Amino acid sequence: MPHSPAPFPAARLRRMRASAALRDLAQENRLTVKDFIWPVFVRDGENMEEPIASMPGVNRLSVDRVVAAAERAAGLGIPAICLFPYTDPALKTSDCAEAWNPENLTNRAIRAIKAGVPEIAVMTDIALDPYSVDGHDGFVVDGEIVNDETVEALVKMALAQAEAGADILGPSDMMDGRIGAIRTALEAGGHRNVTIMSYAAKYASAFYGPFRDAVGASGALKGDKKTYQMNPGNSDEALRLVARDLDEGADMVMVKPGMPYLDICRRVKDTFGVPTYAYQVSGEYAMLRGAALNGWVDGERVMMESLLAFKRAGCDGILTYFAPEAAALMGPAA
């Protein structure tokens, strides 16, 4: 319990806020570059950087440029980079076979980064949406997003990514039973040290809008994702999902989106005490960046404040599109 202050004026809580030095000494939570996972969008081609209209300052990068980005991130002290592919619409099918093609964009990018910048951890996304003509994270049969058939495909996708050298697999699909199935396949395939960060509490959120533009899934998506992603009205259900994914073999868990769900981050951390992450998603980035570009808020300050809030809420790290900018501002971590 926090100590209750002595009566005024014995206690003046402002004393500890009176100078920068005292504020520093009393600061409870701190952000460092070691808290960051940087999500990047990968596209085909060479020497390509293509802006994303709804995410000013974020580009789709060809594989060679992703390697350069990884090098820059490592130089800034950022521990991990997370890959999302912009898949050529011609490669999207209803069987989503490109998802487990060892030569798909993600798998090529993993190999290229691991060859060029081995010290940075490479995280992936496991879900079918970039490869699906329907824009869904699972297979669609007669209008239903089918669970078990999807899990089989996700396992193939996970193995292809592990074989390419991924360090952290990120199942973002919200199917039931996928963590256990992927963990069993990784163990059987000799990938004992490949970690899984489960998108355990992933909400059906309108804050993913710009991301769907970035990966080219917006036009494709038929309907919504409410039969698999969580209802934003729920909180206890997040704890059940986290417990389930930990039991099935997740090493880390994620809450997504971030800022509107800080209460969930805190509950997860307090309940389980496991490595807990939040994803500051595309719509959060777009809001902060858009307001800053209009001169309505101080961009650097809202960026840093929004990121520090995740630490205060109990997160061990944050997936954020601001990673390189915030890291450059903070300087190297000790």
4 vs 265 by CB, closer to ligand PBG:
265
Q: Select which of 114, 256, 269, 311 is catalytic.
A: 256
CA distances from 68 to 104, 112, 172, 231, 273 (A): 19, 10, 26, 39, 35
Q: Which residue's CB comes closest to ligand PBG?
A: 211
* Interface ranges with ligand PBG (CB under 6 A): 125, 127, 129, 137, 172, 208, 211-212, 225, 281-282
Q: Is 256 a catalytic residue?
A: yes
**Residue 24 to residue 16: CA distance in whole angstroms:** 9
By three-state DSSP, how is residue 80 classified? strand
The DSSP output letter for 27 is -
Strands 144-145 and 140-141: antiparallel
Asked about 114 being catalytic, the answer comes back as no
Please, which residue, 171 or 299, has the CB nearer to ligand PBG? 171
Smallest gap from Cβ 316 to ligand PBG, in A, equals: 19
CB 155 → ligand PBG: shortest distance, Å? 16
Smallest distance from ligand PBG to CB 226, Å: 11
Backbone angles phi, psi at 209, to 5 degrees: -50, -55
Identity of the residue numbered 174:
M
Q: How many residues does the chain have?
A: 334
Q: How far is the CB of 80 from ligand PBG (least distance, A)?
A: 15
Q: What is the rounded CA–CA span in Å between residue 117 and residue 69?
A: 10
- 219-222-228 Cα angle (round to 5): 120
Of 31 and 174, nearer to ligand PBG (C-beta) is 174
Catalytic residue among 92, 202, 225, 269: 202
Of 134 and 137, CB closest to ligand PBG = 137
Active-site residue set: 202, 256
